[in-house]
Structure 1
Amino acid sequence: MTRLELIQKIQNRKKQINISIENLAKLSNLGVRTVNRFFAGDDVKFSTIEKITNLLGLDFAGNEVIPLNQLQKQRAKEKALFMASLVQSTSTLEFQGLEKDSLDKIIHKFEKEFLQGQYKNKLWVV
């Protein structure tokens, strides 16, 4: 496989999940310039390619390792847990920590919103 073929596979996945270069960089702990250099076909470290492909659910050759719907569900769960932690922290500060059942319902509601609701386009936004 050529470098250009790998870049094309990664570009296709990037478009599938609708993630910007900036958010791809942030979520993979890379600089925007580094990610741009990769997509321009410039030389980058193998670890850079690995970070990008892992985030996108691909292997080092750009082949799908994690199906798209599963990748989206994982990301929705991560974001839902983060949002629920904010709610829980605020409630705890007010001495009204949420019970497990209530917290699970909040997490499920956030997941659903990130996958199907009004925040669907915000799934990959940091």
Structure 2
Amino acid sequence: MKRIELIEQIIARKEQIGITVENLAKLSGVGVRTVNRLLKNEDVKLSTIEHITNFLGLDFAGNEQMSIKELKRQRAHQKALYLASIVQGTSALEMQGLEDENLNAIITSYEKEFLSGNYKDTLWVA
């Protein structure tokens, strides 16, 4: 695959999942200017391309390694874990930590909200 084809794959995937350049940069660990340079087919390090393609569920050649559905599910799970850890941490400070069953219910509820509920528009917000 030519480099321009890889960049086209990256742009297509970015648009398919609905992520902004800013959030793509934050979540993949790359600077915003660097992401913009890549998307304009300017020179960037190979490691930059690798970070971005891995985050988007693509391999280095632009082939899909993870379906969009699985990519969204994985991101929803990450965000749900983060929010649940805040709840658990706050509760633990008050000596009222949640039992595993309740914590798992909260995580599942958050995941559903990120995938199809009120917060689905915030799935890719860093």
For the criterion TM > 0.5, the same-fold answer is yes
The number of equivalent residue pairs is 126
Partner of 2:114: 114
Distance, in Å, in 1 between the alignment partners of 2:91 and 2:100 is 13
Partner of 1:99: 99
In the superposition, the TM-score normalised over structure 2's length comes to 0.98
Between 58-67 and 1-10, report the one with greater CA deviation.
1-10
The unaligned stretches of length 5 or more in structure 2 are none
- What's the CA shift string for 1:23-64, capped at 9, x where partnerless? 100011111011000001101110000000000000001110
Distance, in Å, in 1 between the alignment partners of 2:32 and 2:74 is 23
Alignment of 1:52-71 (within 5 A): 52-71=52-71
Alignment of 1:1-126 (within 5 A): 1-126=1-126
RMSD after superposition:
0.6
In the superposition, the TM-score normalised over structure 1's length comes to 0.98
Q: How many percent of aligned residue pairs carry the same amino acid?
A: 61
Distance, in Å, in 2 between the alignment partners of 1:85 and 1:107 is 9
Task: Report deviation, 1:116.
Answer: 0.5
The unaligned stretches of length 5 or more in structure 1 are none
Task: Report deviation, 1:5.
Answer: 1.1
What SS does structure 2 have at the residue aligned with 1:24?
Answer: helix
